[in-house]
Amino acid sequence: MERKLKIYLETTIPNFVYADDAPEERDITKRFFDILKLHKFEVFTSDAVIVEINRTRNESHRNNLLRALDGIERLPVSAPCEELAREYIHHKIIPAKFEPDALRVAIATLNNLDVVVTWNMEHLANPKARIAIRELNERKNFKAIDIATPEEVIESV
């Protein structure tokens, strides 16, 4: 039996389920969630994502985002995760103003996941960031992790 990919859903993923201002990405994200229901992957998120969602002021939207992640295993934020996130920032792989994204990649890395799934093309799902994260992780003897959009994950099924 083929091993299931272990994927991490960061905050943009549940957000795009409701992104009426980006209908193409919204529809891809909904298809992505349909594929997740088929149990083709081991799926995780983290307490860091839940904390961010809980800051959503619109209660209805907040509840929708939490519902989208219902039943998905949450990984804790640990001191080693925070330290690795600081290294991504220190090495200018992820800009300091996006520290929460650095933390999410660190959580996925230190929990030996395979892929961080994101719609964040600016500083995560782009070749430069992918390579730099992989190189730093390899130097630290951590498992290489990929960063992909939901569309890329769908194409791999």
- Residues 66-124 have pLDDT tens digits of 999 999 999 999 999 999 999 999 999 999 999 999 999 999 999 999 999 999 988 88
Q: Which residues contact 114 (CB under 8 A, 6 or more apart)?
A: 5, 6, 7, 145, 146
> What range defines the domain where residue 38 resides?
5-156
State the amino acid at position 88 in one-letter form. Answer: Y
Q: Which residues contact 28 (CB under 8 A, 6 or more apart)?
A: 16, 149, 150, 151, 154
- Under the banding of pLDDT at 50, 70 and 90, the label for residue 39 is confident
Q: For residue 44, what are the β-bridge partners?
A: 8, 73
Report the mean per-residue pLDDT for the chain: 94
> Which CATH number belongs to the domain containing residue 147 in this structure?
3.40.50.1010
The tally of domains found in the chain comes to 1
The pTM for the full model equals 0.94
pLDDT exceeds 90 at position 1 = no
Task: Summarize the confidence of residues 127-144 as an average pLDDT.
Answer: 94
- Residues 3-18 have pLDDT tens digits of 889 999 999 999 999 9
CB 68 within 8 A of CB 32: no
> What is d(CA 50, CA 41) in angstroms, rounded to the nearest whole number?
20
Residue with tokens 């925070």: 82
